[in-house]
Amino acid sequence: MTNKILTILLVTLVCASAAAGQDDIFQTGVKYYQESNYDDAIRMFSKIEKSGIESAALYYNLGNAYFKSGDLGRAVLYYHRAKRLGPGDADIINNLKFASQFSKVQMVGVQLNPIEAFLKDTVGSYQLSALGWLFSLFFIIFIILLIMKYGLQFRFTGIDAVIISILCLTIFAAGLTSFKYRVDYLDRRAVILAPEAPVYSGPSSNSELELRGAPGLVVELLRESGDYYHVLLENKRRGWIKKDLVAEI
């Protein structure tokens, strides 16, 4: 028993010191950034990322440091990653918007599905975890009501109406959560990093050139074939781009 307690204490101590270590590295990165030493700031922030830890602030700072060092593609990439973890953060939204303006290729988006556009707007500023907990809240209230009605035989006037209403809210929250999960994790998107990124009509450089992509342009990955991704552009045109020219968000 004593051994077990000691082991738990040791593990807790190791975890806590690791977290403290990451924070020190982060602060060093911030210091480098404030001294305009962006390459070293990137090195420090990337160290945390390589250790398998992520946070909205970490990705945001990486985006800023890359922007300052002139790497627009990676700046946009990290702002998008930051936005996934902190979708309501005004700084992230502002900087992503600002940086995106510098991309040499600007697409005019064509919205084909208004329902999807509405849902994206609705869930856009919420974190997946916030929606997940919202679903849990309604689900637990729903189960508590069922426990009251069927488990404890505690009934009051209108309990059925309340149960149905909460069930509807639970289904709605579940729908939003799964849609958000799809948008954040199942829909694969990538950012062009390379300065020269030709988009072809087929998975080969011999195919017809559709567009000259530029760093910072976001594409949706549809499928892959050999060294190429089949991508969907914001204006709903499709093309093929070499895998090593983009990075997945």
Binding residues for other proteins, rule: CB under 8 A, are 19, 22-23, 26-27, 30, 33-34, 36, 48-49, 52-58, 60-61, 64-65, 67-68, 86, 91, 94-95, 98-99, 101, 104-106, 108, 110-112, 128-129, 132-133, 136, 139-140, 143-144, 146-147, 150-153, 177, 181, 185, 210-212, 235-237
Instruction: Give least dist CB 66 to other proteins, A.
Output: 11
Q: Please identify, using beta-carbon distances, which residue of 175 and 227 lies nearer to other proteins.
A: 175
Q: Please identify, using beta-carbon distances, which residue of 64 and 218 lies nearer to other proteins.
A: 64
Instruction: Give least dist CB 205 to other proteins, A.
Output: 19
Instruction: Give least dist CB 60 to other proteins, A.
Output: 6
Instruction: Give least dist CB 167 to other proteins, A.
Output: 14
Residues 6+ away with beta carbon under 8 Å from 47: 25
CB distance 211 to 103 below 8 Å: no
Place of tokens 């190791």: 14
Residue 79 class from Cβ within 10 Å (0-12 exposed, 13-18 middle, 19+ buried)?
A: buried
Residue 57 class from Cβ within 10 Å (0-12 exposed, 13-18 middle, 19+ buried)?
A: middle
